[in-house]
Amino acid sequence: MSSFFVAGTDTNVGKTTAARAMIQALQGQGVQVVGYKPIACCGEESIYPVAQSENTSDYDHFVNADVLTLMHSTKENVSYQDINSYTFSHCAPMLTQDKMRIKLDKINYDLTRLNQTYQSVVVEGSFGLMTPMAEGKSFADWITQRKMPVVLVVGIKDGCVNHALLTVKVIQQLGVPLLGWIANRINPLLSHYAEIVDLLVEHIDAPLLGKIPYLHKPEEQELGHYLTNIDRLMYMQTEFIK
């Protein structure tokens, strides 16, 4: 069916929070939707100790908080391995020999399986759009190959305007659709938050899908109602199913 790629202007800007909001909002419209994070870094605790049918060497015997959030955001019955292809215990596998373990064929297979099972898949990237992914390819290369439309998450902070507009420019150059963007407030003390959002609305040639305020433990909260332009996602989901 349809897939959306959640890209961030940087790391720690709230991609997982935005993905949770998208999943919950689409579920509220009756869409069967799951999240998918191909590559997860910074594993936190031992993964299931019992033997599994999947190759556990792809998981470093750790689980990742972002994948767990995606797993708990959907009403669909999915396992950790269903929505993640690789979990690494450290935070930068793309910079080490671990990058040799990442195979695009496996990631493509896993995403195709999810697309064939559910109406929509919210795919969360790692780090920024131009970050190396695997086999000499970046996340930007991969989504271009998959022709996957993008939702951009902008962590609202000092300096985010430049990061956001540069990322939008890259997306336009890739030729993939930019469905819209989400403003995620990550600095509660930022005094000119509203002015930054207004400036981005003026300069980003894509609709603002919603504004997520600064929240304590967003992974435990209902976030779907913060997306006030869910009709855009519903329309595009229908278009990409055709």
| Confidence (pLDDT) at 232 | 78
Q: Which segments are annotated as binding site for Mg(2+)? A: 16, 66, 124
Give the pLDDT confidence of 60-85 residue by residue, as tens digits.
557 899 999 999 999 999 999 999 99
pLDDT confidence tier of residue 168, bands split at 50, 70 and 90: very high
CA distances to 190, 197, 205 from 202, in Å: 20, 9, 8
Predicted TM-score (pTM) of this structure: 0.90
User: Is 157 in the active site?
Assistant: no
| Confidence (pLDDT) at 53 | 43
Q: Is the pLDDT of residue 109 over 80?
A: yes
Least confident among 18-32, 35-49, 132-146: 35-49
Largest pairwise CA distance in the chain: 53
- What is the rounded CA–CA span in Å between residue 204 and residue 162? 11
Secondary structure letter of residue 60 according to DSSP = T
Q: Which segments are annotated as binding site? A: 12-17, 66, 124, 184-185, 213-215, 220
Query: What is the chain's mean pLDDT, rounded?
Result: 88
37, 103, 169, 211: the active-site residue: 37
Q: Which segments are annotated as binding site for ATP? A: 12-17, 66, 184-185, 213-215, 220
- What is the rounded CA–CA span in Å between residue 179 and residue 5? 10
Higher model confidence: residue 34 or residue 61? 34
Query: What domains appear along the chain, each with residue ranges and CATH number?
Result: 2-37+103-241 (3.40.50.300)
pLDDT confidence tier of residue 47, bands split at 50, 70 and 90: very low
Instruction: Give percent helix, percent strand, percent coil of the chain, each to the nearest 5.
Output: 45, 25, 35
